[in-house]
Amino acid sequence: MSTQPARGMRDFLPDDVRRRQYVMGVIARVYEQYGFAPLETPAVENIETLLGKYGEEGDRLIFKILKRGEGAATGQADLALRYDLTVPLARVVAEYRATLPKFFKRYQMQPVWRADRPQKGRFREFYQCDVDAIGSHSVVVEVELLAAACDVLARLGFADFTVRLNHRKALSGMLQASGVPAALHGETLVALDKLDKIGPDGVTRELAERGVAPAAAAALIALFSDGAAGNDAILARLEAVVGGDEAGATGVRELRAILALAAGTRAAARLRLDPSLARGLSYYTGAIFEIAVPDLAGSLGGGGRYDDLIGMFGKQAVPACGISLGLERILVVMGERGMFPPDLALAAADVMVAVWSEARLADSVALAAELRAGGLRVEVYPEADKLGKQFKYASACGVPFVAVLGDDEAARGEVALKDMRTGVQRSVPRADAGREMVAARGQAQGE
Partner RNA sequence: GUGGGUGUAGCUCAGGGGUAGAGCUCCGGACUGUGGCUCCGGCUGUCGCGGGUUCGAAUCCCGUCAUCCACCCCA
**Cβ of residue 61: shortest distance to RNA, in angstroms?**
7
Instruction: Rank residues 54 and 261 by Cβ distance to RNA and give the closer one.
Output: 54
| Cα–Cα dist 229/238, whole Å | 12
**Cβ of residue 322: shortest distance to RNA, in angstroms?**
10
Alpha carbons within 13 angstroms on the beta-carbon side of residue 425 total 13
**Cβ of residue 299: shortest distance to RNA, in angstroms?**
5
Angle between helix 214-224 and helix 195-209 axes, rounded to 10 deg: 170
Instruction: Rank residues 422 and 443 by Cβ distance to RNA and give the closer one.
Output: 422
User: How remote is the C-alpha of 167 from its chain's centroid?
Assistant: 23
**Cβ of residue 302: shortest distance to RNA, in angstroms?**
4
Instruction: Rank residues 39 and 85 by Cβ distance to RNA and give the closer one.
Output: 85
| Cα–Cα dist 29/366, whole Å | 38
One-letter identity of residue 276? S
| Cα–Cα dist 136/145, whole Å | 13
Residues whose CB falls within 8 Å of the CB of residue 243, separated by 6 or more in sequence, listed in order? 177
Instruction: Rank residues 68 and 386 by Cβ distance to RNA and give the closer one.
Output: 386
Query: Hey, is 321 helix, strand or coil?
Result: strand
Instruction: Rank residues 251 and 301 by Cβ distance to RNA and give the closer one.
Output: 301
**Cβ of residue 279: shortest distance to RNA, in angstroms?**
5
**Cβ of residue 430: shortest distance to RNA, in angstroms?**
13
| Cα–Cα dist 68/78, whole Å | 9
Instruction: Rank residues 102 and 197 by Cβ distance to RNA and give the closer one.
Output: 197
Residues whose CB falls within 8 Å of the CB of residue 339, separated by 6 or more in sequence, listed in order? 156, 157, 158, 333
Q: Which residues bind RNA (CB under 7 A)?
A: 2, 4, 6-8, 55, 57-58, 84, 114, 116-124, 126, 128, 190, 193-194, 197, 278-281, 290-291, 297-302, 324-326, 328-329, 386-389, 391-392, 394-396, 402, 404, 406-409, 416, 418, 420-423, 425
Residues 124 and 114: beta-carbon distance below 8 Å: yes
